[in-house]
Amino acid sequence: MARIIGGITTSHVPAIGGAIAKGKQDDPYWKPFFDGFVPVRQWLAEARPDVVVVVYNDHGLNFFLDKMPTFAVGAAPEYRNADEGWGIPTVPPFQGDPALSWHLIESLVAEDFDLTTCQEMAVDHAFTLPMALLWPDQQWPVRTVPVCINTVQAPLPSAARCYKLGEAIGRAVASWPGDERVLILGTGGLSHQLDGERAGFINKAFDLQFMDSMVNNPTWATQFSTHQLVEHTGTQGVELLMWLATRGALGPRVQALHSNYHIPISNTASGLMLLEPMV
């Protein structure tokens, strides 16, 4: 059967794409961020995943405020990037895995998750930049399955619901008869607010406690309502929902192989974790 070999959680700030395009990886402002990915790439070279399930949030490229599904899963043979207006170069297309996508969709619907199924899907910086951080040559040696969670327009799914979605993804992968090695990639956050009276808000203490909970108490953040999460992390910090879904997919026990925390990156607290399931 297919097996989840690990989970990676990381931020997806658009400015990262600009830094990559301008070759700023060694600039003092960016170096602590980019250096954090060296051990992750080394692990990937040894782990050699076949498929990446990318748990992310769309920012208006594929979904907009007039049509905003709570959960959406891609089932396309290919996913393409497009210009979002940030000045970030577009990246090569990503190969999909329709068979595994449909298995995930059918499994999740059977567990009472109401999904939007996308047989065509554009993927934005929340998908592309983390992939480029993991594979800088942008040759994409993996197939991909996009799982999109609404963190843009109320009502948002609760933290508990997103964790349960991740658990259901884990069960779906385990029931797939293939022998694929599956990586779960959750993108977004950590604490940041880009507008309003609290623009520039970062909560380092909460971020670090949340990162610790990903290993030692994975359901810790599910105690908070959406409004409480926004209070603790800022309007856009609620993107930690993708981290929770990723963690839910990994099973009850994990070990942290690597983590990095750096502030600020374009007014955002940047977190990175590499987690491996423990039997």
Active site residues: 125, 192
Report the side by side order of strands in the sheet with 51-56: 116-118, 71-74, 143-149, 51-56, 181-187, 3-10, 270-277, 254-262
Residue 156: count of CB within 10 angstroms of its CB? 22
DSSP 68-104: --SEEEE--SEEB----SS-PPP---EEB-HHHHHHH
Nearest to 152 by CA among 226, 80, 213, 208: 226
Q: How far is CA 215 from the centre of its chain?
A: 17
Q: In whole angstroms, what is the distance from residue 173 CA to residue 167 CA?
A: 10
Q: What is the DSSP string of 180-237?
A: -EEEEEEE--SS---SSTTTT---HHHHHHHHHHHHH-TTGGGGS-HHHHHHHH-TGG
